[in-house]
Structure 1
C-alpha cells in the first residue's frame, strides 16, 4: 500500500485537526511537505471550498486553503511526492479551466498531479457561484469525459451534452500522458463513476464493512486505486493501534491510505511522520 497524508493546516475539520493547526502557517506546511517528501510518503492533499456557509462550518470546518496555490507552493518545496486535490468540485469549473490550471501544475511539478474530483454537496456554495445544482451528477460525468481527452493535449476536442469545444489551444498542458483521476464520494454512484470514468475512488464517511461491500459489487480495472482515510493517528504513542488500523484498511480493499496525523506542533508532526514511515516501511511500498 501507498501511504499519503491529509496535509495539516490547509484544511481544518473539527474533531480531526489538531489544536496547533489553528495557528499554523506556510512555514509549517513547507516543513511538513519537505519532511514527507524526504521520508517517502506518496502524496499530499488539499481540498476545495470557495466559501462555506456559516451554518455548515461547525461540522465541516471553515479553513480551506485554495488547492491550486497550495499545491503549487508544495511542488516548489518538494521533488518526488505527488500532489492530490481531494477533492476539486467539478461543477465549479469548466473542464478547460481545470485542464489549463492543473495541467500547468502537473508540468511545473514534473508530472506529479493526481486529480481528485467530486460532484459537490453544498447547495449554498453552488448557488453563490451561480453553478447548476440539480443536474450536477450528469454534468460531473460529462466533465470527467472531457477532462480525460483534454488534460494532456494542447488541442483538445470534445463534444458532450454539457461541454463542447474544438479549434482551441490550451498551452501548456499536463506532461503525464494519463493524469490519474480519483473520484471522491460515499455512494455507489460515486464508485461506479470512479470505475467507469476514473482511476481511483476516495470514499469518506463510510465504515470499512460498507466499503468492502460496495467494492465487492463492482469490477475494478487493473491498477484501480482505493484511497481510504484514517482518523487522527499517533504513530509514536500508539504504534500497534496504528499498524492494526492500517492492516484493517488493507483488508477492506485499500491500495492507498490517506493519513491524518495527531500532533502538538509542526515539529512533533514531523516526528510522527518519521515514526509512521518506519512503522509502514515506506522504503518498500512504492509510489503511485
Structure 2
C-alpha cells in the first residue's frame, strides 16, 4: 500500500524547488494548503529545518526557512488528521532534551500526529554558530537518535547514558500522545542508509533517481537484517515534479504530466520497488493552482496507485 505526502511550500524557499508565487506567500497560504492536504487524504505535510544560512549559500538556498516545530504546531491547530513530519530536523544542532521537549509538546498538542524526520545537516557555519560538532555530526546524530528515543518514550523521567549526552532524574511533561514517536532517517549516503537501517522506523532518501532506488532499498533491508532489527521499516521516495492534466505552460521536462491514469501508472513503479510512501510536489503558479492540483491528484491519481 503506497501512501502520499508532501513537503509544504512557502516554509522553505530554495531556488532549487520554490515556485515564484511563494515569495509573496505567508501564514494564510500555509493554512489553506495544510487544510487541503488534510481533506485530500495526504498522509503527511512536512517542514524543513535550518537555523541560519551563510551568505555563501544564500543564493541557491535562500534564507527563508521556517522553524519546523513552530510551523507544524501552528498547522496542527488548523488540521485534524494529516501527520506532521519534520523533513528533516537537524537534531545535532540541539541537545536531545531540548529537541525532546519541543517535539513531545508538538505530538501532545496534535493528538499524536508527529513523525520525527532527522538528518545530519550539511552547513558547517550553522554548526559553528551554535557550538555544535560539524566534523563529527554523523556520530552525534547516531547518539542523538538513541537519546531521543528514550526522551520521547512514555517515561516522565527518561534515562540515557552515552558518550556525549547523559540524563536521568529529569522529568519532562507533557509526554507525547503516541506511545512511540516514529523516527524516519533522511539521507542517501552510505552512512545515512546504514543509520536508517539500524536506527530508523523509516527512510527518507534524498535525491535518489528511480534507477538507483532498488539497489538502495535492497541494501537498506540487508543492513537491517544483518543488524537483527525485525521491526518493519517505512521506505520513502521523493518523486518527480507533477502536474495533473494539460498544463498549458512550461512545467519542465522532468515533470510527470498528462492524464491521471498515465501519471498513476508511472508512480506505481515505486510501489513495485518496495516503496511505502511517496513524497509529491506539484508545479504551480499560485496557491489556488497548487490546491487544485492536490485535489486532482487525490481524486484522479491516488485511487490508482495501488
Give the TM-score taking structure 2 as reference length.
0.88
Asked whether the equivalents of residues 155 and 170 of structure 1 are also in contact (C-alpha less than 8 Å), the reply is yes
Structure 1 unaligned regions, length at least 5: none
- Whether contact under 8 Å (1:188, 1:214) holds in the other structure is no
**Any residues of structure 2 matched to 1:43-192 within 5 Å, and which?**
43-152=44-153, 153-192=155-194
Cα RMSD for the two superposed structures? 1.8
Change (3 A) 1:245 1:98: farther
Unpaired segments ≥5 residues, structure 2? 225-229, 247-256
Rounded Cα–Cα distance in structure 2 between residues aligned with 1:29 and 1:236:
24
Q: Which secondary structure state, in structure 1, belongs to the residue aligned with residue 132 of structure 2?
A: coil
With the length of structure 1 as denominator, give the TM-score of the two structures: 0.93
The residue number in structure 2 matching 1:210 is 212
Rounded to whole Å, the distance in 2 between the matches of 1:180 and 1:33 is 21
Superposed, 1:190-201 pairs within 5 Å as 190-201=192-203
Match of 1:231 in 2: 240
Q: Deviations over 1:30-56 (max 9, x none)?
A: 011111101111000000011112221
Residue range with higher mean Cα deviation, 49-58 or 110-119: 49-58
CA contact (8 A) 1:10 1:63 kept: yes
- CA drift of 1:239 comes to 3.8
Instruction: Give the conservation status (yes or no) of the 8 Å contact 2:12–2:65.
Output: yes
> Which has the larger displacement, 254-263 or 203-212?
203-212
> Could you tell me how far 1:14 is from its partner in structure 2?
1.4
Partner of 1:31: 32
Give the deviation of 1:284 after TM superposition. 9.0
1:232 offset after TM fit, Å?
Answer: 2.5
| Structure 2 CA distance for partners of 1:62 and 1:278, relative to 1, 3 Å | same
Q: Does the 8 A contact of 1:183 with 1:194 survive in 2?
A: yes
